[in-house]
Amino acid sequence: MNTPNDNCCSGNIFSEETQMRRDLGLVEAVSIVIGRIIGSGIFRTPGPIMALVGCTGLFGFVWVIGGIITIFGAVCYAELVAMMPKSGGPYVYLKEAYGPLVAFLRGWAMFFVSETGAIAAVSLVFAEYLNALYTIINGEPFSQIYVLVIALSAIWVLTAINLFGVFLSGMFQNIFSSIKIIAVSSIVVAGFASQKGSAGNFLNPLWPGDFSWGTLLAVGAAMRYSFFAFSGWEGATYVAEEVKNPRKNLPLSLFLGIAGVMVLYAGANGSYLYLLPAEKIASSKWVATEAMNVAIGSAGGILISSAVMLNTFGNVSTQILCKARTWQAMAKDGLFFRFMADIHPRYKTPNHSLIAQGAWASALIFFAAFAESSYEAIIDFFTATGTIFNIMTLATVIIFRKRFPGMERPYRAWLYPWSVIIVIILYAVYLAVTLITAFVPSMLGLLLTSTGFIYYKWIIANHENHVR
C-alpha cells in the first residue's frame, strides 16, 4: 500500500489536466446524474414515507423538502467541482480541506458500508422484479438461489462493460437514462389518463389529527427515504476528469439532472396518490405495482415490473461507473489499496478498482439477499455516517473560500454564505433525528467506520514510519 501524502492534491487539484479521456459531454453528464438518482427509490420509498407520516400533506412536504435541500446541496457542489474538476467526487474536497485521515475514513465507510451496499441492494431489487415478471407470465416464481445468481450476474455484466472504456459506458448511461424517463413518465400518464383514481385521495387525510414531537420525529425519519430516493445526484463529480469542458458542463449537469428528476418524482407521487388511498400506499412495499394494477389492470403488473427492472439495471450501471473512480483516486493518493490506483493502459479506465468494487458488492449480496426488510435496513444503517461526511463536504465551500480567496471560481454558490449555512443546519437537524429514530443501525454504521480509523493509524501510519 502506498503511504499517504498530505500535499498530493495541493497545487494540481485546480487543473483540468488528466490521464483519462474526456469522452463525456453534457448529455452524458446529465444522464449520469439522472441515472444515479432514479433507481429503486421512487418505486419503493413512498410506502415507508406514508407509513411514517400518515397523511398526504406531510407526505408531499417530505418530498418537497427533500428536493429543495438536494438543490441547495447541488449549489455547493457546483462551486466545488467547477473549481476542482478532478475525479473522485467528495473525496477530493475532503482530502484538501481536512487532510488524508478524514478523506480515508470517508472512503473506507463508503466502500465497506454504503456505496457497495447500495450497489448490492439495487441489484437485488432488479433480480426480485425479474422474478415478479416471471411469476406474472408463468404463474409461479423461481427459487431464491436464482434471485441471488441474477443479482450477481447484473453486477458483473455491468462491471465488464465499464472495463472497456468510458465512451461505451457513457452511451449505456444515455440509453438507460432515456428508458428511466420514459418509464416514470409512462406511470404518470397512465395513472392520470386512466380516470380510475379519485381526487379525494389527495385530501384524505390531509394533515395528522394533532401535531406533536412524535410528528416531527416521524417527518425526520421519513426524510431518510426521501433523501435516499434523491441520492446519487453528485454522480457526475465522480467522473469529472472524463467530462468535456468540466467547469461548465458539471455544474449545469447537476442542476438539469436534479430539476428533471424533481418533476418526474412529483408526477409519479401524484399518480400514486390519485390512484391509491393513503392507507393503501402506507401498507404497500411496491406502490407502483399497486397503482398500475388500478390504472390498467393486470397488464400494469407487467409494465411496472419491466420498468423497475430497467431502472434498477441502469442505476447499478451508473453506480458502478461513478463509484469506482473514488477508490481509484484514494489509492492514487496512497490512502487505499495500491493496486486499485492503476489505470488500464489502453482503455484508460480504473479496472482494478472496478473489479474490487464488484467483488465486495458481491460479498454483500449474500448478506442483503436473505435479510428481512433489507431495503429499509440498509438505508438506516448508512444514513448517519453518510450525513456526517456530507455535512463536512458542504462545509468545504466555506473553508476553500477562506483558504483560496483568489482562486478562479467559474461558478459561485448562490446567496453565499447563507445558502451553505442553512443547508448545513438542515442536515445537522436531520442527523440528530436519524440518531434518535434509528439509533442501533446508525451506531453499527459508525462503529464500522471507526475501524477505518484504527486501520489508518496502526497500518498506514506504521508503514510510513517504517519507510522513514
For 379-388, the pLDDT digits (tens) are 888 889 999 9
Q: What value does the mean pLDDT take over residues 155-181?
A: 73
Q: pLDDT tens for residues 438-457?
A: 898 899 889 989 988 887 88
Planar angle of CA 385, 386, 392, nearest 5 degrees: 95
Q: pLDDT tens for residues 289-313?
A: 788 888 888 787 787 788 788 878 8
List, in sequence order, the alpha helices (H) in 298-373: 298-332, 351-368
The pLDDT of residue 441 is 86
Q: pLDDT tens for residues 56-83?
A: 999 999 999 999 999 888 888 888 888 8
Asked whether residue 402 carries a pLDDT value surpassing 50, the answer given is yes
* Structural domains for the chain: 26-467 (1.20.1740.10)
Give the mean pLDDT of the chain.
Answer: 83
d(CA 175, CA 314): 9
Unique residue bearing C-alpha cell 466502500: 111
Q: Give the 3-state secondary structure percentages of the chain, helix then strand then coil, rounded to 5.
A: 75, 0, 20
Q: pLDDT-based confidence at 459, cuts 50/70/90? A: low
Cα separation values, 28 from 168, 169, 170, Å: 11, 10, 6
Bridge-partner residues for 243, per DSSP? 24
Q: What value does the mean pLDDT take over residues 181-195?
A: 86
The pLDDT of residue 409 is 84
The pLDDT of residue 468 is 54
CA 231 to chain centre: 4
Asked whether residue 168 carries a pLDDT value surpassing 70, the answer given is no
The pLDDT of residue 173 is 58
**Please, are residues 247 and 410 in contact by the beta-carbon 8 Å criterion?**
yes
Residue type, 160: A
Q: pLDDT tens for residues 249-301?
A: 888 888 898 998 999 999 999 999 999 999 999 988 778 878 888 888 878 77
The pLDDT of residue 1 is 40
Of 203-212, 269-278, 360-369, 442-451, where does mean pLDDT reach its minimum? Answer: 360-369
**Please, are residues 78 and 255 in contact by the beta-carbon 8 Å criterion?**
yes
Which of 441, 44, 429 has its CA nearest to residue 219? 429
The pLDDT of residue 278 is 94
